[in-house]
Amino acid sequence: MPLWKKVRPSSAAGKLEIQNVSSVLAELGSAVEQRGERSDPGVARVYLGAVSEDRPPPKWLERELLRQENRRHSVTMGDQVKLRSRLLYSDDPTRSLSKLKDEFCTYMQLEYTEKEESVWRGKQVAFSLPATVRALSHGEPVLRVHSTPDGTIITVREDGAVYYWSPELNLKRSKSVFHERPVSRKPKWATDFITMPQYNKLIMGTGDREIQLYELSSLEPYCQISSLETVPLRLDYCYTGPDECSILYGDSQGCVNIILITSVGETLRMWKKLPKIENVPNIGIDNAVLSQNVTYIRWKVHQDWVTKVKYFPNICAIVSTSNHEASSLVIGCVLPSTNIEQQMREMCREGKAKRALSNNNGSSQPRAPCDQTVFPIYKGVMTFDLSKQHNLLVTGGMDRVLRLWNPYVPGKPTGVLKGHSAPIFYLFISSEENRIFSVSMDNTAKIWDIHDQSCLITAHPKASLIRGDMSACLYSPSSKALYIAADSLALLSLRTRPQPQGHLIVSHMEPVLCCGYSHEFRQVVSCTEGSVVKVWDFDTGSQVFEFGGAHGQSAITCMTFDPKGRRLVTGGRDGFLKIWNFNNGQCLKILKKGEYILIHISQYKGGVRSITVFFFVFSLSYAT
């Protein structure tokens, strides 16, 4: 071979050079022209479809097609329009730049579309329908559903019947805690209850203006605080420090009552030794506040009865609600402000001095404006929840609308969620799962995403089979289930996948069927039975990209890369082969029999199984 020659004349590249053929594409174009087709000058024609039987391409051309490496510009065999457009754009820099911009925008759009679908798949949630229902005996409605730290579910009915349930709603035991009265006297009825897990006590409010304490384990009466100003409608309890606690209740006059107790164990033991009334040791609120360990505060907050009250220790504030629009929700302090300068401003603004609050004074008085934040909401508020982690306050009421608030900005909600067709009865914020659980009076449960402010799933009563008027509801993060009390007690649990044991780390939610390594990008690609493809960085182990539905609902059974490691080829149980750009999830081609140049077929049959090996030419390269 002469020194100035780079290739041998007998080689395929040498034949191209000797015959003055610019590229393999031109040779294919000449084959088309010999068949009588007209070609544009200066543009290489690409042979479409399968190779003609009367004039098959020469063997050296087939070998050259398989040997040549992919260059900067490559197109799939058979795509004549795409090849012609690229040749035309290569002559005009302006049009070429515009084409490059369009391709880049398409690439980014495909990438972010797949990322959005990946995030959405990760947020998918479902209820186990229908709900698990446990029939309740005929009687008064359930006041509240509460869970203990060990997972036991406690329900209390209006007639004082207490029920202990397992997380799966298997009844453990039940007992009526009220003392039987003569027929001539009106029976006692309960208004609400809460537990004191640190002291193994159950607190119950009654219609006789009492707060009764029972042993949580045996439900035996312990003591009671009587002679309250009004009936305690809503109760709450908070452990505020070592041997310190606070008992809160809202009443029918719109007041928030706070009982602060120090040396709790000693104080309760002292109350237990007092004289009994109806078999319960009794102390009046007026005598209780005489002790140095007890502080009683009564704030006039609302103009209507209190619908819910709760103390949040992470913000050291009490949140209470009512159906009065002007004072629908109020976030206020426990004790009055000690800022003398601010108090003097308030006194000058109102033109009168404000009397200091005494520990022994049971009369109600309003808070100073600097000590509370008022949220006026249309038609009031029936329920709410607050998350310090997300700095989020959620309210719901008679207008069937969920409102999202910044707790420190009462002027306007940050979001409005619509979808319920009945007044909203219960709300819960799951900070770990970034979800909001809402239940309306028509027994419809919804789950909302906090970031997207979108509804993830709706459980209608026809599907959950929950019937009757709702009286109580609770979401348990430990069991990941909603407990709804209506005509029966229902368990509406979330569908969860089994968590890995010990140190195991799961990369996919479905079984992994195949995986491969791309040397070009130093990435690992894994494919699952759920038709999900994930791309991982080999050095850091972090997930780079993910796209799903690669083969519809069919599993991906095999995969490989092209010789350069830039394209992914997957095969599924649907019988298709697909070529992917696995960096953005774009399907480049779906390989079907008869649409590509078939180089070789070898088939083996044995019994009911057959193996067919196909060799395809996926792409052609041309010089620019």
501-514 pLDDT per residue, tens: 545 567 777 889 89
Assign 162 to helix, strand or coil. Answer: strand
The answer to the question of residue 515 being in a domain is: yes
The answer to the question of residue 4 being in a domain is: yes
Is residue 48 located within the same domain as residue 114? no
How does residue 382 score in pLDDT terms, banded at 50, 70 and 90? very high
The answer to the question of residue 66 being in a domain is: yes
Percent share of the chain, pLDDT over 70:
72
The yes-or-no verdict on residue 39 having pLDDT over 80 is no
* Mean pLDDT of the 108-117 span: 70
Is residue 538 located within the same domain as residue 581? yes
The answer to the question of residue 568 being in a domain is: yes
CA-closest candidate to residue 419, choices 396, 386, 451:
396
The yes-or-no verdict on residue 17 having pLDDT over 70 is no
CA-closest candidate to residue 255, choices 96, 363, 114:
363
What pLDDT does 104 receive?
76
What pLDDT does 617 receive?
45
CA-closest candidate to residue 261, choices 248, 275, 276:
248
What pLDDT does 3 receive?
53
Overall domain count for the chain: 2
Residues 518 and 509 sit within 8 Å (Cβ to Cβ): no
DSSP code per residue over 344-391: HHHHHHHTSPPPPPPTT----BPPPGGGEEEE--TT--SEEEEETTTT
Residues 125 and 459 sit within 8 Å (Cβ to Cβ): no
What pLDDT does 88 receive?
53
| pTM for the predicted model, two decimal places | 0.65
The yes-or-no verdict on residue 248 having pLDDT over 90 is yes
Most confident of 168-182, 196-210, 608-622: 196-210
What pLDDT does 75 receive?
42
The answer to the question of residue 81 being in a domain is: no
Is residue 114 located within the same domain as residue 65? no
How does residue 582 score in pLDDT terms, banded at 50, 70 and 90? confident
**Looking at 37-46, 108-117, 394-403, 490-499, which range is the least confident one?**
37-46
The answer to the question of residue 71 being in a domain is: yes
CATH (domain of 552):
2.130.10.10
More reliable by pLDDT, 337 or 461: 461
* Mean pLDDT of the 557-572 span: 87
Is residue 514 located within the same domain as residue 571? yes
Residues 535 and 546 sit within 8 Å (Cβ to Cβ): yes
**Looking at 2-11, 141-150, 407-416, which range is the least confident one?**
2-11
Is residue 508 located within the same domain as residue 590? yes
Residue 110 lies in domain: 106-119+504-595
* Mean pLDDT of the 102-108 span: 76
DSSP element (H, E) containing 283: strand 280-284
Is residue 54 located within the same domain as residue 113? no
What pLDDT does 611 receive?
47
What pLDDT does 84 receive?
57
Q: Which DSSP state fits 584?
A: T
What pLDDT does 83 receive?
52
Round to whole Å and give the CA distance between 317 and 253: 20
Is residue 30 located within the same domain as residue 110? no
Is residue 572 located within the same domain as residue 520? yes
How does residue 136 score in pLDDT terms, banded at 50, 70 and 90? confident
Is residue 110 located within the same domain as residue 62? no
Supply 510's token pair. Answer: 């479905």
What pLDDT does 4 receive?
52
Place of tokens 């044995």: 606
- Mean pLDDT, the chain, rounded, equals 79
The answer to the question of residue 133 being in a domain is: no
* Mean pLDDT of the 517-532 span: 88
Omega prior to 130 cis, within 30 of 0: yes
Is residue 111 located within the same domain as residue 33? no
* Mean pLDDT of the 285-310 span: 93
Contacting residues for 424 by C-beta, under 8 A, at least 6 apart: 382, 383, 396, 397, 400, 401, 402, 438, 439, 440, 441
* Mean pLDDT of the 324-341 span: 83
Is residue 112 located within the same domain as residue 33? no
Is residue 65 located within the same domain as residue 111? no
The answer to the question of residue 572 being in a domain is: yes
